[in-house]
């Protein structure tokens, strides 16, 4: 069991800006494996290191139905984007809350893989949404930031209520 604790909104640590990864050692591989285990168990389709209180530019994702297409993006950058799409997003750091967010429809991503090898690829649809959502985490941004202040306040109250109910149960 290598599950990591996921920080939850409005934890201020989620606002930390992540630093680039420069060392691809055994500790990094262990962290990546633990992040996958945590993400699949949650269950979720993406997890940024920021969410497990590790402030490195690292994210894992798997948007496949069969959960057999794990992807690791290190020091990721979106180098081109076009179009727009709206998708009802959720986040493991904002449990039980879903809201429409508008993002680019197609993106080109540059990143390193888990061994430091450069990769460059195009993504669209859900994969593009997921990558944009996770890259936001690395700069301390959450999907609720795209909502109106009123909606964001409702989200915060809903989470408070859920936590109180869980504490009483
Ligand atoms: Zn998230």
Ligand 1 geometric centre to CA of 116 (Å): 24
Active-site residue, selected from the candidate residues 89, 134, 153, 168: 134
Q: Is 82 a catalytic residue?
A: no
Say how far apart CA 146 and CA 5 lie, in whole Å.
25
Per-residue confidence in pLDDT tens, the chain, 169 aa: 579 999 999 999 999 999 999 999 999 999 999 999 999 999 999 999 999 999 999 999 999 999 999 999 999 999 999 999 999 999 999 999 999 999 999 999 999 999 999 999 999 999 999 999 999 999 999 999 999 999 999 999 999 999 999 999 8
Ligand 1: centre distance to CA 21 (Å): 20
């Amino acid at each position: 069991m290598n599950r990591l604790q996921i920080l939850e909104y409005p934890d201020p640590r989620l606002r930390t800006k992540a630093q680039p990864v420069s060392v691809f050692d055994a500790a990094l591989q262990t962290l990546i494996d633990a992040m996958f285990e945590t993400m699949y168990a949650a269950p979720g389709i993406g997890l940024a290191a920021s969410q497990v209180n590790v402030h490195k530019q690292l994210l894992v994702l798997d948007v496949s139905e069969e959960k057999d297409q794990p992807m690791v993006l290190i020091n990721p950058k979106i180098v081109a984007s076009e179009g727009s799409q709206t998708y009802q997003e959720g986040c493991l750091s904002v449990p039980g809350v879903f809201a429409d967010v508008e993002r680019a429809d197609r993106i080109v991503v540059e990143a390193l893989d888990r061994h430091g090898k450069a990769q460059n690829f195009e993504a669209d649809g859900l994969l593009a949404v997921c990558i944009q959502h996770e890259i936001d985490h690395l700069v301390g941004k959450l999907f609720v930031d795209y909502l109106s202040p009123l909606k964001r306040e409702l989200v915060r109250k809903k989470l408070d209520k859920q936590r109180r109910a869980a504490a009483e149960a």
